[in-house]
Amino acid sequence: MSAVIEPQPAAEPLGTGPLDLEAAYRQSQVAEVLEGLERDLIGLLPVKSRIRDIAALLLIDKLRSTLGLGAGAPALHMSFTGNPGTGKTTVALRMAEILHRLGYVRKGHLVAVTRDDLVGQYIGHTAPKTREVLKRAMGGVLFIDEAYYLYRPENERDYGQEAIEILLQVMENQREDLVVIFAGYKQRMDTFFHSNPGLSSRVAHHIDFPDYSCDELLAIAHLMLEQMHYQLSPAADGALREYIELRRAQPHFANARSIRNALDRARLRQASRLFERRGKPISRDELVTIEAADIRASRVFAEERAHGH
């Protein structure tokens, strides 16, 4: 049996002299995550600065606690609000990483759930279901997407309330075991927190994700294409810019997610365009290039033309 009980190596004792913040920063390896955040996520300036603030606070807190200046475990539960496709889930993943590197969660995994995973179908079904999810999330981050669905004021016998109560209890009593992140549209989340004051007061950080500007969306598109090993021809670049401007004005625009979908459809058209002329040899350039025509064939342009006439 290799399950040996051995004592944890003791933490490096720190003197009372000046502390090396830089060393602690480097040691925590949190810089990597923050740089990755800066590099891979376009725009989102307020979000990034809030995350840097939180990381700084946690780092300082850690340093203080090595001197015995503990201020109690900081409240880390958060709420991410913003329109669809603004990067809430992506940032939550990074947040889990940061918290893990700073030692505020032990495992650093993210468990993403929605109402269906927490709330049961009949009486007595909700509590075990919620506990099951909480058990899985222990040591990591629990990400509740579209959290406002948990609370349905129009039905006072809704089981969502029960799930909220269990969540509250764990959020309060097992703060060192898990961090809960609530996510959803700004307005509906505001109502949700307004009608659940107990929840609102336990969520320390409210971070709002702004919509992307046209330029940011274009930069995101380039980043996505780069990751998928595609490139835009110069004409396609202009077409994509026009596309984004038109698409933004239309309903159901989901920021980066809409861009991803548009690119996926452009890939589809590029593939069938290349397939049409099979028989002739295809160069590597042709395989990676998306032409203006692939983008201009979109429904968005068709609608625009229809409106124009």
Interface contacts to other proteins, rule CB under 8 A = 1, 3, 5, 106-107, 109, 131-132, 134-140, 174, 177-178
Smallest distance from the beta carbon of 293 to other proteins, in angstroms? 47
- In the numeric block, the tokens 């700084």 are attached to 56
Smallest distance from the beta carbon of 106 to other proteins, in angstroms? 6
Question: Residue by residue, what is the 3-state secondary structure of 76-103?
Answer: CCEEEEECCCCCHHHHHHHHHHHHHHCC
Looking at the Cβ atoms of 177 and 242, the one nearer to other proteins is 177
Smallest distance from the beta carbon of 165 to other proteins, in angstroms? 16
Looking at the Cβ atoms of 139 and 210, the one nearer to other proteins is 139
Smallest distance from the beta carbon of 96 to other proteins, in angstroms? 12
Q: Where are the beta strands (DSSP E) in 173-275?
A: 179-184, 205-209, 231-232
**Token representation of residue 92:** 């939550």
Smallest distance from the beta carbon of 116 to other proteins, in angstroms? 17
Looking at the Cβ atoms of 64 and 135, the one nearer to other proteins is 135
Distance CA 251, CA 95 (A): 30
Distance CA 104, CA 293 (A): 50
Looking at the Cβ atoms of 138 and 288, the one nearer to other proteins is 138
Q: Which residue type sits at 213? A: S
Distance CA 121, CA 39 (A): 43
Cα-to-chain-centroid distance, residue 76: 16
H or E element in which residue 110 lies: strand 110-113
- DSSP 3-state of 127: helix
Looking at the Cβ atoms of 64 and 107, the one nearer to other proteins is 107
